[in-house]
């Protein structure tokens, strides 16, 4: 088995050969210059804007049902662009490798990234590779940045959310977080749980076409849906109320979280949109979501309401109200 050595990060022949073997062969950049040189026809449209985002991925385990760190790195960055209404175009990818990491496993991760980029219709156009000493990493960390194009007239922002807006989500809660928990604990479950890792930009574009008045969107990753709702309520100076009975939740996720004493509203997701839509367009947005496989379990789960700014409450199945605070600490570290 061929392993990563410190020489693979030294800038010489070993590093060049690794990059060509693992990354260039899969991502196929147009050149090996120190910068990517990019253009797209839409950039010339009056009023079009560039969207730019960056993120880092440190999930453990690196591979899990429904995905791996490479798939997360591509789709996570694509989705950060998508919730701003942008069409994702280009990604960069930087790898921090630990001495002793199997190169064949790195090839699998790179294959996964290449397949994810193809699925999402984006290109990985530039990157970097570093190697750290054995024991000073965790196999591989990946940092990706993304560039996309926001079309003229699209202006999504939390500050635009208004009282009366409907709150919609496109799928079931907590699938990714539950998958990571079950994989780490090697739990033998009757029904397999898989990460919901998927690209959301096409779904987002379909919603915007059906409901052009959408005010804001977020992807509910670390901290889960409850964290996103708190962020939106605070940024918009509004209150949000959601209904427990309307939350789509897989029975196996519900059972796992009940056993472990965790709240699925705070579990990480990797393919979940939260949308804030004027009431008059909520049904159109819901229909657009449900027309796509990524939105088959979509639901209107609540509304933006009058109340103390920044407050988020859950109407329970018993008819009571429970405050959903921002998560203190983290339910599960190294999640994405």
**Per-residue pLDDT reduced to its tens digit, 136-156:** 999 999 999 999 999 999 999
pLDDT at 192: 78
d(CA 274, CA 170): 7
Does residue 51 carry a pLDDT above 90?
A: yes
Give residue 259's pLDDT band: very low, low, confident or very high (50, 70, 90): confident
Average pLDDT over residues 214-242: 96
Q: Most confidently modeled of 7-16, 158-167, 324-333?
A: 158-167
In the CATH scheme, what is the code of domain 6-32+47-150?
3.30.1330.10
Q: What percent of the chain has pLDDT above 90?
A: 81
Does residue 285 carry a pLDDT above 70?
A: yes
Average pLDDT over residues 13-25: 92
pLDDT at 335: 86
Q: 52-56, 110-114, 162-166, 188-192: which range is least confident on average?
A: 188-192
d(CA 336, CA 56): 8
Does residue 33 carry a pLDDT above 90?
A: no
List beta partners, residue 299.
169
d(CA 231, CA 229): 5
pLDDT at 332: 74
Structure tokens at 138: 């965790």
- Could you tell me which residues come within 8 angstroms of residue 258 by beta carbon, excluding any fewer than 6 positions away? none
pLDDT at 38: 80
d(CA 250, CA 220): 17
Neighbour count for residue 305 (Cβ, 10 Å): 15
Give residue 336's pLDDT band: very low, low, confident or very high (50, 70, 90): confident
**Per-residue pLDDT reduced to its tens digit, 156-173:** 999 999 999 999 999 999
Average pLDDT over residues 65-84: 97
d(CA 18, CA 27): 13
Does residue 261 carry a pLDDT above 60?
A: yes
Give residue 326's pLDDT band: very low, low, confident or very high (50, 70, 90): confident
Q: 102-111, 187-196, 252-261: which range is least confident on average?
A: 187-196
- Could you tell me which residues come within 8 angstroms of residue 33 by beta carbon, excluding any fewer than 6 positions away? none
Average pLDDT over residues 312-321: 94
Give CA angle at 196 (29, 178), nearest 5°. 125
**Residue 225 CB-half CA count within 13 A:** 31
pLDDT at 232: 97
As annotated, the residues of the chain forming the CATH 3.30.1330.10 domain(s) are 6-32+47-150
Average pLDDT over residues 79-87: 97
pLDDT at 191: 62
pLDDT at 187: 66
d(CA 272, CA 318): 26
**321-323/312-315 β-pairing:** antiparallel
Give CA angle at 21 (17, 27), nearest 5°. 125
pLDDT at 328: 72
Q: How far is CA 288 from CA 49, 80, 201, 203, 296, in A?
A: 25, 20, 13, 8, 10
As annotated, the residues of the chain forming the CATH 3.90.650.10 domain(s) are 158-323
Does residue 272 carry a pLDDT above 80?
A: yes
List beta partners, residue 302.
167, 242
Q: Which of 190, 198, 209, 181 is nearest to 297 (CA)?
A: 198
Is-contact 65 110, C-beta < 8 A? Answer: no
Does residue 219 carry a pLDDT above 80?
A: yes
Domain 158-323 coded CATH 3.90.650.10: yes
Does residue 17 carry a pLDDT above 60?
A: yes
Does residue 280 carry a pLDDT above 60?
A: yes
- Mean pLDDT for all residues in the chain: 93
* pTM passes above 0.95: no
Q: Which of 233, 258, 254 is nearest to 314 (CA)?
A: 233
Does residue 327 carry a pLDDT above 80?
A: no
Is-contact 192 268, C-beta < 8 A? Answer: no
**Per-residue pLDDT reduced to its tens digit, 159-209:** 999 999 999 999 999 999 999 988 887 765 556 789 999 999 999 999 999
């Amino acid at each position: 088995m061929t392993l990563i050595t410190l020489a693979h990060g030294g800038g010489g022949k070993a590093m060049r050969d690794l990059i060509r073997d693992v990354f260039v062969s899969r991502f196929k950049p147009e050149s090996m210059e120190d910068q990517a040189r990019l253009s797209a026809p839409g950039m010339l449209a009056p009023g079009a804007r560039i969207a730019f985002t960056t993120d880092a991925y440190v999930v453990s385990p690196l591979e899990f049902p429904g995905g791996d760190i490479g798939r997360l790195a591509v789709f996570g960055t694509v989705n950060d662009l998508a919730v701003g209404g942008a069409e994702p175009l280009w990604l960069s990818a930087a790898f921090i490798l630990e001495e002793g990491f199997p190169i064949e496993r790195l090839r699998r991760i790179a294959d996964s990234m290449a397949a994810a980029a193809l699925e999402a219709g984006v290109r990985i156009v530039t990157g970097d590779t570093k190697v750290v000493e054995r024991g000073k990493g965790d196999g591989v960390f990946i940092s990706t940045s993304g560039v996309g194009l926001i079309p003229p007239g699209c202006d999504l922002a939390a500050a635009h959310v208004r009282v009366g807006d409907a709150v919609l989500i496109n799928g079931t809660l907590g699938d990714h977080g539950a998958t990571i928990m079950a994989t780490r604990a090697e739990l033998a479950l009757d029904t397999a749980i898989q990460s919901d890792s998927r690209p959301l930009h096409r779904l987002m574009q379909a919603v915007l076409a059906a409901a052009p008045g959408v005010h804001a969107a977020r992807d509910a990753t670390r901290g889960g849906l409850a964290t996103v709702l708190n962020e939106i309520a605070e940024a918009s100076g509004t209150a949000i109320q959601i209904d427990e009975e309307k939350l789509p939740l897989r029975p196996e996720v519900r059972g796992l979280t009940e056993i472990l004493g965790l709240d699925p509203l705070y579990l990480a997701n990797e393919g979940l949109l939260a949308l804030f839509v004027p009431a008059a367009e909520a049904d159109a947005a819901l229909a657009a979501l449900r027309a796509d496989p990524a939105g088959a379990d979509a639901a209107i789960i609540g509304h933006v309401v009058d109340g103390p700014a920044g407050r988020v409450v859950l109407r329970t199945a018993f008819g009571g109200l429970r405050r959903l605070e921002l998560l203190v600490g983290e339910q599960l570290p190294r999640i994405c």
